[in-house]
Amino acid sequence: MRYVMICASPDCEFSKTNNYELGVDQFCPACGHDFLWKCPHCGRPLRDKGALFCSGCGKPLKDKKCEDGHGDSATG
């Protein structure tokens, strides 16, 4: 059975289709962030590569960037 995986990082647009028979990938090979394979809000399996919003509930799939200073000294 085929399913779509999308990188959960807001900075990464990597997505791909995968087969259950080949095993479930947990992390993005492009950046090492967690993969999403279903909507974190309603649990609907992802169907579109590159989707940014859930087609079931309309909420954004990716986490927003954390804008609160968290102790890490960011360069930029």
Binding flag, residue 61, Zn ion (CB under 5 A): no
Alpha carbon of residue 48 to chain centroid: 12
Binding flag, residue 16, Zn ion (CB under 5 A): no
The binder of Zn ion chosen from 24, 27, 30, 52 (CB under 5 A): 30
- Terminal alpha carbon distance of the chain: 43
HSE-CB for 24 with a 13 A CA cutoff: 8
In the block, which residue shows the tokens 């509930």?
Answer: 57
Minimum gap (Å) between residue 26 Cβ and Zn ion: 12
Which residues form the interface with Zn ion (CB under 5 A)? 7, 9, 12, 14, 28, 30-31, 33, 39, 41-42, 44, 54, 56-57
